[in-house]
Structure 1
Amino acid sequence: MFDRRSTLRQRVYYGGRLVFQARASTFDCIVRNFSVNGAQVEVDNPAAVPDTVELMIPRQGISYFGRIVWRLENMAGLVLETPRRHVDSLPLDIALRLRATERVNQQLRTQLSELRSQF
């Protein structure tokens, strides 16, 4: 089989997360091999993951925007862009909790305005 990769990939075993839909949806994954240009990930249902994703590797504190170029059973191959450190961004779990809190806050404001309009 002909290997078209421009850089050699290292075998790794990292816990990762595929993030998409403006950070509203995530899939946990295992990064099986990795280079600065691409990665192979193991995910439960690769067919449910869109073509463009963000691959986060919390252990390294790095995320990559990428594009899925192949899918087989529970594996997928990604082409990756330049890495980004998450130093100045919120961790994903905090961002998700913040978004949920903002939704609840908006619902409470709506209920409050409805109650005020009754009096």
Structure 2
Amino acid sequence: MATNERVFRMPFAGVYPMYLQKAARKGRSTDEVDAVIRWLTGYDAAQLQAHVDAKTDLQGFFAQAPAAEANAAKVTGVVCGVRVEAVEDPLMRQIRAMDKLVDELAKGKALEKILR
């Protein structure tokens, strides 16, 4: 559990640039990364930027999400050696789902297919 708590306290502003870099290396845009994150959380562009600026931790980022996507449960597969659908902690599952969506984007999957 200590590892989870450490991850939960990580600022979204620390993770977000890594998502952007990963996607950019594969020719994907910031707008596409933002679209994936906004789909998952319900944030609009201004709200997303506000969380980056405020350095909101991941726990707060997901807790304050205006509308968790109902289809987020359909995000399955392996990311960082972890099967997303097998993660029991709801917050960690949301974090892994976000990782998986950005991973799919970086692997060239069409945005329309990512946004189940």
TM-score (norm 2): 0.29
Q: Between Structure 1 and Structure 2, which shows a larger proportion of strand residues?
A: 1
Name whichever structure is richer in helix by fraction.
Answer: 2
Larger radius of gyration: 1
Higher relative contact order (CA 8 A, sep 6+): 2
